[in-house]
Structure 1
């Protein structure tokens, strides 16, 4: 497996790639894993250089894992893209993708703390498959065309505060989605060629207790359709993230308590790695 990561303190991460257990430093090729690097087919070039032994090896022990994509211009999110989650939310299955936004500065590493806003009583978790856009996409005609613009895939937690999302939002969900730390991402950015996006198991836990356990095959709108439809509503740029929706099993369902300070949230997607956040 090929896994791209960014290691080091927040704001000073170093780009690396792990191939078959060996971690290679990407700084001879690029300062970061960002839109420009992705648009220049950086993932392919970097993997080729690493396999050829032309990049230095690094020891990742003890280094913080940052979000594997730096400075996206946009974080686009899809609501209620699993039928069972729509049902637990009390909503019908959507006929068109529901789009809302997270501010790019919500992005943090996969194991960084999640900080709830002061007075929060309705914090929630959402394990999601995130799509990383690798080239400019506008007005895609076919699903194949849409997928050609995908660089890779990564685990995301679409952290939410439901009071702000529903009661204090004026009807715009983004209000409950845009607090700092509300988008843990990573650990691994895995190239699209190595992932079957509609055959991945997604799971989440809170304090070690299972919450979500589903498959991306149950998406209402699969990845290809989402990218294609979005490309007709806006222009997707390299480095943009598309969070593709969460399956059932969140606190919004009423079956589980909302997040509290001191909780530990974990989530995992097959082949893409595992996250762990302390809530404070």
Structure 2
């Protein structure tokens, strides 16, 4: 377990899913069909929100899961329980992905527990709302990039020697990369970097049979926004600006990750899926 002083940052984000009302919907909507039978997945930000829904769905489809999380021990243990309830193995790893050393530790502990890595889901992220660019401090700017994009580099660097033919990397970008967000300048910028990283990493690894794709969710009801990632006055109407007129649920996003992780997407790499409530996105 990492020491507290090793943590790059420790604040209220991303927040406890157990404190939300209403609770996000993480439960898979259909029976499993063995699409990830005996695979091993690392899911960063796996304790809550989209990460929890992905862990639950992967487990239902036959995968063992390493659940990487920052602070919320209770949420992480609940996600572990969910995976084990599906009949699969799970471990929880408390780590800040913004630390190269901690990402190395995540991979080591996953290999110690499961012996291999087939799927890496880079889902961990943070956001801090600021309406004026001059309000974004240097500390916040560095911290957001450290978590959101440096963490993906570090996780891939740590996992790369252990990823073989047929492995899959899936990164979480955002609709804000495509349409922008005036109140999330630093966050949206990291999501643009993630999309470019996804496309470039795909080119880098495709010759070795490793597929790299991404998912760009729209507004999804997770702890990220109500626990400080968005102004309080916007939470009441969160997601209403989408064509569907509502926020999405984590279990409406997780199937995109599953599709990209399994053999159904064997001819896809460098691509982005868009579960975003009907927002039409260009390339």
Same fold (TM over 0.5): no
TM-score by length of 2: 0.27
Structure of greater relative contact order (alpha carbons < 8 Å, 6+ residues apart)? 1
- Structure ranking higher in strand proportion: 1
TM-score by length of 1: 0.28
